[in-house]
Amino acid sequence: MCGIVGYVGHRAAQPVLVNCLKRLEYRGYDSCGIALLGKDVEIYKDAIRIEALEKKLRPHINKAGIGHTRWATHGKPSQGNAHPHADCTGKIAVVHNGVIDNYLALREKLTQEGHKFRSDTDTEVIPHLIEKYFQGDLQEAVSKAIGDMSGSYAFVAIHSDWDGMVVARNESPLILGVGDKENLVASDVPAVLDYTDRVIYLEDGDIGVVTGDGVRCFRNGKQIDREVHRIPWSIEEAQKGGYAHFMIKEIHEQPRVIRNTYKGYISALEPVVNLGIRKDAGINDILFIACGTSYYAALVGQQVIQSLTQIPVRVEIASEFNYSDTVLGRTWVIVITQSGETADVMRALKKAKEVGCRTLAITNVVGSSATRLADETLYITAGPEICVAATKSFIAQLTMLYLMGLAWASGDIRSRVSMATELRQLPDKVQQLIDREEEIAAFGKYLAKYENVFFVGRGLNYPVALEGALKLKEISYIHAEGYPAGELKHGPFALLTPKTPVVAIAARDNTYDTLMANIKEIKARESPVLAIAEEGDIEIEKYVDFAVRVPKVSPIFSPIVNAVALQLLAYYTAKERGCSIDTPRNLAKSVTVE
């Protein structure tokens, strides 16, 4: 969600902070601001875009400062609620991600002590607490302040009488960028890549002191060493590279992403999968936990792994799991999170660890919180995904789930070898589909005139229908719902009209004939039907108005090509409607609050 940046070093801080904030725009925000450290702390902020804020800034040579992009939680988007927030003296400024659970009680107490508040945010209690405890040592004041706070936070504090920055983290991501006579703070890696490829991932309970000369990490008052990681991708990979939007660029990257995901797990000489992670004979079942798009990937993985391994598999939404009485026992808990920082997923992972479950994280980010907490990790190696709507990370997650099923499969080895061979051919199949995107663009223009769309599928492609609906609604702002095709008659039929198109995923599997019957029922209600159908399927043309053609693959792999077709359909629909595709309204890329 919100983006944090901080800089101290030999450069003028203001242009660095603005550049870093622009690198975090994909996270979603409704206001932004910076604070520059000098004899006084100067703050510039408003409920505007970064480009507009930049025009309001006057030149500064200050060598240190902090910045923020805010996604509103407490208090509406406004200049007063935008970060950074200051104390009463104007010497302290803070930027913060997370939620301070006890902020109301702290605010009341601080008000009684004479502190005056100017915003509706929970964040503003932090600079006031630091002011209360500051006696010349900012690190000590921050340490005492967080002793009063409960909740999640990643924050950076500066003081006009202190050289550098002090940072703290608890249940919200924060990294330190380690440079040459300059150091940075950020909530995500892309913010610092113009200046360094070396980062430290802070852990819960850490306090960091950041100056131009170096960074020091502390825990419980004692200095500790934290590993410096080199980022395996460049800033060029986090840029558009000539594409109109990050989303279409990331869709085009998917053939390479599939290869990168299976590379190293499938032998070049023999198509056999080896993940280096064994299934435990004592495990009774597998529980996937995820949110959003990752949850839909898990629903596909549930069916694939159950069918190949005969191990019972369950799937739960992380935010619901955290408040449920789910019985775990001898359960292997596998969390799926692109960022490795999703708040609900991290809480679920901790809950599973507390009861002694074996845990595995499937993630895209090396060194993220999930990788440090889980017993084992599998990386999807999708590279940086900037568009808020997940595309290549979803396809990479599906690829990894197929690899898991094949690695732990029981039964006929020839069947497994055949599937692994076809898995290696999927990049070419996806590329064939992308090469025909202009055909799909025409269907996007058709859908763009509607305000309600249903997506239906069966079996493995029911979760793909859910994902297709999610993609369309989040970037085109068209109301879209995904359903099992057989469930429309249990209520949603009441909404079908000539103005309610239905996108039907017609995979040539054991559900095909039943799906054709469902399509007939839909057409009887006069709804236009657009089918996602494989090449050579002539039968489908008898029942639908339009057909998006996808390359022929084995039914088990149909979710891959069908999902890519739906991504392109959503993209071109949103483009036709003139929507903000990469940064949809009200949404954030990394959801770090519950």
Q: What amino acid positions are annotated as catalytic residues?
A: 2, 589
Sign of CA dihedral 580, 586, 592, 594: negative
Of 62, 66, 59, 64, nearest in space to 45 by CA: 66
Q: How far apart are CA 476 and CA 232, in angstroms?
A: 33
Residue whose pair of structure tokens reads 């601001």 in the numeric block: 33
CA 23 to chain CA mean position, Å: 15
Q: How far apart are CA 18 and CA 16, in angstroms?
A: 6
State the maximum Cα–Cα separation within the chain, in Å, rounded to a whole number. 79
Of 519, 571, 588, 521, nearest in space to 547 by CA: 519
Q: Give the SS3 label for residue 123.
A: coil
Kindly write down the DSSP assignment for every residue of 446-500, as one continuous string. Answer: HHTT-SEEEEEE-GGGHHHHHHHHHHHHHHH--EEEEEEGGGGGGTGGGG--TT-
Q: How far apart are CA 358 and CA 349, in angstroms?
A: 10
Kindly list the distances between the CA atom of residue 590 and the CA atoms of 61, 359, 363, in Å, as whole numbers in the listed order: 33, 22, 13
Q: Is the peptide bond before 84 cis (omega within 30 degrees of 0)?
A: yes
Is residue 201 within 8 Å of 363, Cβ to Cβ?
no
Residue type, 246: F
Q: How far apart are CA 17 and CA 125, in angstroms?
A: 24
Of 204, 194, 200, nearest in space to 215 by CA: 200
Residue type, 42: E
Q: Give the SS3 label for residue 43.
A: strand
CB atoms within 10 A of CB 93: 29
Kindly list the distances between the CA atom of residue 436 and the CA atoms of 3, 240, 405, in Å, as whole numbers in the listed order: 37, 21, 30
What torsion do the CA atoms of 311, 316, 322, 323 make, to the nearest 10 degrees?
A: -110
CA 287 to chain CA mean position, Å: 20
CA 436 to chain CA mean position, Å: 28
Kindly list the distances between the CA atom of residue 548 and the CA atoms of 80, 202, 392, 522, 526, in Å, as whole numbers in the listed order: 49, 46, 20, 18, 20
Q: How far apart are CA 131 and CA 368, in angstroms?
A: 32
Q: What is the Rg, in whole angstroms, of the alpha carbon atoms belonging to the chain?
A: 25
CA 580 to chain CA mean position, Å: 18
**What is the 8-class DSSP label of residue 347?**
H
